[in-house]
Structure 1
Amino acid sequence: MKTTRTRPKIIVTGDGRGVVGHAGTRLLADLADATGLTNAFSEALAGLRQRQSGHDPGRIAVDLAVLLADGGEAIADLAVLRDQPGLFGPVASGPTAWRLLSQLDAAMLAELRSARACAREIAWAQHAEVRGDLPQPMVAGQRVDGLVLDIDATIVICHSEKESATRTWKKTFGFHPLLCFLDNTGEALAGLLREGRAGSNTTADHITVLDQALAQIPDVFRHGTPILLRSDSAGSSHGFLAHIRALRERHLDIRFSVGAAITEPVRQAIQAATGWVPAVDTDGDLRDHAEVCEITGLFDATGWPEGTRFLVRRERPHPGAQLSLFDTIEGWRHQVVATDSPPGTGSIQFLEARHRAHARVEDKIRTGKNTGFGRFPSRVFAINQAWLQLALTGIDLLAWTQTLLLDGELAAAEPKKLRYRLLHVAARFTRTARRTRLAIAANWPWADALTSAFSRLAALPRPTG
């Protein structure tokens, strides 16, 4: 039998010179400058600067966002950037960063959100100039036109006592933030940190997150571009849907697609329904053992916005599926979708599949927990609120990197893959003829992708004024 070769023998020393780690992370820091994010943060936090020679508060906030995008989990991880001044420049100490976070009150967080919106407008304008229109989500082999916003909540478990961390509905202990992501690009538009016992379908919280998310969208897109808001049944409160309808009266072309509870009238409508058609899968092919039907008008929909349509999907339950008594008796697992997309928008199969694509937000939340908001650093709730906003900023930097600077597999990769292949790469750092050179190993499989990303970054049009 042929045996695997042993690894080559090595001798480890600590006297290497001109070598830096996390070289690809410099791409994120420079992109923050190229999109105007660093300047916008600096202007937003200008009042916190205590002395001329001190660290710029806006730059500290950007460095923290870069750290989180790079996979850091604690303020102490700033040492990775700080101890490589030739690559990242002067980076604040841990106590200085803590002091900044402790000073960020609600008014300053609002300023940071406005700064993020300004940077997003520049990033989208850069995308339009170098790559054309924003990506459009695909569902069942068809394009979903416009912008698609996904709102969902998640539980973040705390392993120590923290302010406003409480018992959750899952009988765990921690926080219950509510988040909104843009399905087109993966950007994190808004997030609201809430105590663990916060309700899943709290109308006021959904309105707050939606309004903050819409404020992140540049005016040229917010007015005149179709917007679809997707949520599970937590977003089906009549007050929240009424708010969405009111936004349309303010000239926003926004529609909703939300999960709906299966009440007794809905059960009776399902039993009376006819005209079932096969459901479609993600590729647009007919799906076996799953059917879709519209039950609009088969039950009293008082309280729902005028024009709301109701679609029901039934499928043979998979082993281990949790079924209601109704599902057990019928032998099908049922799900109901409420949408105000009018007839002519697409077939009921497409509309139902379009809603099921809301599940993609679960991947965004899962990876977001590895990009900052899966671990909150402080016992103080206000500091954790600031941490969440910087985590959302880090997620945006990753999303902009992918949409503006990367192609192919890396443009759709999860953060972990980006870190292992691009961000955490080592390089040789040299200075010659007043120029700084960062040389990536020629045999690194993704060296061309990283050097191309830096070249594209250098060619991006810069904001003026």
Structure 2
Amino acid sequence: MNHSTHVFPALPTQPTSQALVSHAGLSVLTSFLNALDFRQLCEDRFSQFVPATATHRPGKILGALALSLAAGGEQASDIDQLRTAPELFGPVASDATVSRFMGRLKDQPEAFEYGFATMTRSLRTKIWAAAGPRNPARLATPANPLIIDIDASLVHVHSDKENSAGTYKGGYGFSPMIAMADYGKTNGTGEVLAVQLRPGNRGANSAKSHIEVLNQALAQLHHDFYDEHGNLQAEKILVRTDSAGSSREFLHHLQSLGIQFSTSYSLPVLRERFIRWIDEKKYWEPALDAGGGQRADAWVIDASKVLELKGYPAGTRIYLRAEPLHSGAKASLFDTDGNRVTAFLTNSPRFNVAFLDARHRARGRCENRIKTLKSTGLGKLPYWSFAANQAWADLAMFAVNLVAWLQLAVLPGGHEASVWDLKRWRYRLFSMAGKLVSGGRQRRLLIPKNAPEAQLLFQLQQNIRLLFQRWRHGELAA
């Protein structure tokens, strides 16, 4: 008789009436929202969207949707995961209540957009102030400005929705423009400042869209970026884009505001002698890798005196980078010596060529934020109404930012979780199981002490309590 050996233990499964919780790790976010006084803030901004006698208030509805998206939910009905644990998450609105709430939002989109923008700015100001020495506003200087990345992406849909349209890739859907703040490699993952939902046929190189989303992002910044007269201290900000943001109209707009820029640039067709000059690597200097060390197979150079820029803002310089062609890459007109040559423009007051190149190449981090944003709700817009989908995109942004704010203001500096993306937070912490017990007239949440991130959860809860006490007693001025 043959006996099979199982890969894993084969245990019988049966239902139980015990109070088990499958997303106990989300208690970190519920505690954080409570400490931020999220309920009252939402009541001030959104009370007009619910009846005065409604049981489920705006803060509870928006908070539950944000928790669901942070945990990996894809649509409004996924809050049923929270509904199974009322002892931990409290009473959760029904799907019909959420649907009616979203219906009221789409009827008054301007009121919701204004309320949401002022709410997130208020929270951001409070959290950045609590970050202390890691406050991005206080770290920003003209030499090391706060970087705002702007990029467009595509969101494909599989049914007809208001304002959806064909995309340049042959798909159908939307082309949102997104503005993000980059804290730097060692200071958290950064956050999303604004998401502007657009029809799918809107170009990524639209100067108008870049200006609109930039204005939304600037309105979200901490008051430390403004002087006593309310004027923007633009020299402490750098806008970084791909080549879609290199239009003269947009760069002149940035120059008029006094904002620094670093944008990729598509090289024009050059005369033969310029191509031969590019091949002479003796004039170039080694590029830097992500860790700040020199690379032996990549070079950079200031080409401003060789390549003439016409119609661009005064002080704009062009830098070139050469590195070996990737496997399978097709050589262009300029790649005559086996190296790919790319360019970027900047008006930065710094002139260290290798540093400027490394800073511009760090733009790749914004691609990760867009990927995270799509996996947190932006990738599947659930409503037909364009206004409702814009509100959903705002909620996705808020869910992503909740975790970014945790990393910035609650986690100790240098903690390994300070650079985790949201997918890792879901797997390591938010999906942690727990058990609810009662004793001494108090309910408690029990967490397995041998869970890999149990200590992280306890540390976050403790730090959130300390922050709440400091906010409550006015020790942290926003």
Q: TM-score, normalised by structure 1?
A: 0.90
Q: What's the Cα RMSD here?
A: 2.4
SS in 1 for 2:113: helix
- Partner residue of 1:356? 361
- Provide the rounded CA distance (Å) in 1 between the counterparts of 2:388 and 2:357: 40
- Partner residue of 1:297? 305
CA contact (8 A) 1:29 1:63 kept: no
- Partner residue of 1:90? 91
Post-superposition Cα deviations, 1:345-386, rounded to whole Å, max 9, x if no partner, equal: 251011011101001111111111111111110122111111
- Partner residue of 2:327? 319
- Partner residue of 1:308? 316
1:415 aligns with 2:434: no
CA contact (8 A) 2:21 2:85 kept: yes
- Partner residue of 1:69? 70
- Provide the rounded CA distance (Å) in 2 between the counterparts of 1:177 and 1:266: 38
- Provide the rounded CA distance (Å) in 1 between the counterparts of 2:154 and 2:239: 21
| Higher mean C-alpha displacement, 23-32 vs 269-278 | 269-278
- Partner residue of 2:181? 182
Report sequence identity in percent: 36
- Pairing of 1:262-341 with structure 2 (within 5 A): 262-265=267-270, 269=274, 271-272=276-277, 275-324=283-332, 326-341=333-348
SS in 2 for 1:264: coil
Q: CA deviation at 1:16?
A: 3.7
- Provide the rounded CA distance (Å) in 1 between the counterparts of 2:17 and 2:60: 30
Letter in 2 for 1:102: G
CA contact (8 A) 1:37 1:118 kept: no
Post-superposition Cα deviations, 1:301-326, rounded to whole Å, max 9, x if no partner, equal: 222111111101112211112432x1
1:234 aligns with 2:241: no
CA contact (8 A) 2:275 2:334 kept: no
CA contact (8 A) 1:43 1:58 kept: no
| Higher mean C-alpha displacement, 428-437 vs 177-186 | 428-437
- Partner residue of 1:39? 40
- Partner residue of 1:23? 24
CA contact (8 A) 1:188 1:395 kept: yes
Letter in 1 for 2:419: A
Letter in 2 for 1:440: I
Q: 1:52 to 1:270 in 2, by over 3 A?
A: farther
CA contact (8 A) 1:175 1:193 kept: yes
Q: CA deviation at 1:290?
A: 1.7
Post-superposition Cα deviations, 1:115-162, rounded to whole Å, max 9, x if no partner, equal: 10001111111111xxx22369x9xxxx98331111111111112222
CA contact (8 A) 2:50 2:101 kept: no
- Partner residue of 1:387? 392
Q: 1:298 to 1:422 in 2, by over 3 A?
A: same
Q: TM-score, normalised by structure 2?
A: 0.88
Q: How many residues get paired?
A: 447
- Provide the rounded CA distance (Å) in 2 between the counterparts of 1:42 and 1:272: 64
- Partner residue of 2:166? 167
1:245 alignment partner, one of 234, 247, 255: 255
Q: 1:194 to 1:426 in 2, by over 3 A?
A: same
1:438 alignment partner, one of 445, 461, 464: 445
- Provide the rounded CA distance (Å) in 1 between the counterparts of 2:323 and 2:339: 5
SS in 1 for 2:114: helix
Q: CA deviation at 1:463?
A: 5.5
Q: CA deviation at 1:4?
A: 7.8
1:158 aligns with 2:165: no
- Provide the rounded CA distance (Å) in 2 between the counterparts of 1:436 and 1:380: 42
1:371 alignment partner, one of 372, 376, 395: 376
- Provide the rounded CA distance (Å) in 2 between the counterparts of 1:267 and 1:203: 32
Q: CA deviation at 1:18?
A: 2.2
- Provide the rounded CA distance (Å) in 2 between the counterparts of 1:266 and 1:115: 54
- Partner residue of 1:220? 224
| Higher mean C-alpha displacement, 19-28 vs 187-196 | 19-28
CA contact (8 A) 1:40 1:119 kept: no
Q: CA deviation at 1:269?
A: 4.7
- Provide the rounded CA distance (Å) in 1 between the counterparts of 2:91 and 2:285: 62
- Partner residue of 1:251? none
Q: 1:308 to 1:125 in 2, by over 3 A?
A: same
Letter in 1 for 2:328: G
- Provide the rounded CA distance (Å) in 2 between the counterparts of 1:266 and 1:161: 48
SS in 2 for 1:200: coil
SS in 1 for 2:219: helix
Post-superposition Cα deviations, 1:414-439, rounded to whole Å, max 9, x if no partner, equal: 21211111111111112322322111
1:110 aligns with 2:120: no
- Provide the rounded CA distance (Å) in 1 between the counterparts of 2:37 and 2:240: 30
Letter in 2 for 1:213: A
Post-superposition Cα deviations, 1:241-285, rounded to whole Å, max 9, x if no partner, equal: 12212222xxxxx31000112112598656445621121211222
CA contact (8 A) 2:31 2:461 kept: no
- Partner residue of 1:462? 471
CA contact (8 A) 1:64 1:78 kept: yes
SS in 1 for 2:264: strand
